[in-house]
Amino acid sequence: MLGQGARRALIVEDSADVAVLLNALLSREGFVTETAGSGHRALEAARLLQPDLITLDLGLPDIDGLEVCRSLRIFTDAYILVISGSADEATRLASLAAGADGFLAKPVSPRELSARVQAMLRRPRGAAVPASELEMAARVQRGLLPQRSPVLEGYDVAGACRPSRSVGGDFFDWQSDGHVMDVTLADAMGKGMGAALIAATARAVLRAGIGEPPEALVGHAAAALEPDLERISSFITLVYLQLDGATGAVAYVDAGHGLGILVDPDGGWERLVTGGPPLGLIPQSTWSGGTLSMVPGSTVVVMSDGLLDSFAGLDEALSAAASVVRGADGAHDAVDRLLDLAREAEDDVTAVVFSRCA
């Protein structure tokens, strides 16, 4: 875990030389750094890392830097410092309008970078959300959650969400006909009532497609949700799994979520493979599915990014989750322990666990 007062910086830069320079300068300022070379990777890393500072190059290879800035501002109150080779007034103004806190022209001056970072850190971060709105968001979120575990012979299933008072975008859902079980865990970017309402809409759309193959369901859900998500500049990370109880075969799609693992009976674990970007992030995207096989004694775990608040990095968090599963007495105990791992989380924390009985 990061020490008391430690700060994180995400360097979004597709030039390796500039990234190395920024890493050295920000490390000297006391930041723990991570680098992303594309817009897609930047949004994923910002969600997982939850940085205090983001330096953002506008000339990214996949997504326009200003669009990345707007998307970042939906779900993070990190300071955003745009660093661009174009320093004209129009670019500066467009960056500030997109949500940036500052602008720095290339080539980067170490002294100017230090001065701008220190100036931003002196400003207060994030405005408080009214308590009434936060309470309403929590009620909406609780209303989305399943009231009981599905019944699937030969499997132990549990899930839970511990909502914070500042974010309302997590939800999980499941359906089973006694032979096939469909599981969804998603996170709508944003805060408060707005995120809770996005989650409610997404849940309804996804439920309408239950029974379709995962790739088809996610594609149809994206087509239905994209106009609204684009209009409000939001997106949804999602993992959707379909388990055949008789065979233990699981077909799934991970849409930019990245927080699912398969724990083997011997205690080893592997990550679910990401099959495309979050819904609503890149219009008209397509998603590829993955498959895994649950043998007796194996367990699938999917979590929300609130778990990451208690760890220095993603691999450390996933390894801790796998360790919890290995030591748990059943799925419900595993879920309780996973939520306990994230006691320091400021975000919602959600976990779903299903195990094939040995």
Mean pLDDT of the chain: 86
How does pLDDT run across 187-196, given as a tens digit for each residue?
887 655 666 7
| Lowest mean per-residue pLDDT among 159-163, 175-179, 234-238, 299-303 | 159-163
> What's the order of all strands across the beta sheet hosting 180-188?
170-176, 180-188, 236-244, 249-255, 290-293
- 136 has pLDDT over 90: no
How does pLDDT run across 266-292, given as a tens digit for each residue?
989 999 998 999 998 888 899 999 999
- What does the alpha-carbon distance between residue 335 and residue 118 come to, in Å, rounded to a whole number? 41
Percent of the chain residues past pLDDT 70, beyond the cut: 89
Percent of the chain residues past pLDDT 90, beyond the cut: 51
How does pLDDT run across 77-134, given as a tens digit for each residue?
899 999 998 888 889 888 998 889 999 999 998 989 998 998 888 877 655 445 555 5
- 3 has pLDDT over 50: no
Instruction: Give the list of residues 6+ apart from residue 299 with CB closer than 8 angstroms, or none.
Output: 262, 263, 325, 331, 334, 353, 354, 355, 356
- What does the alpha-carbon distance between residue 257 and residue 237 come to, in Å, rounded to a whole number? 5
The mean pLDDT value for 150-175 works out to 82
Task: Measure Cα distances from 278 to 5, 237, 239, 273 in Å.
Answer: 31, 5, 10, 14
Q: Which of 308, 208, 216 is nearest to 257 (CA)?
A: 308
> What's the burial of 332, exposed, middle or buried (CB within 10 Å: 0-12/13-18/19+)?
middle
Paired strand residues for 187: 170, 237
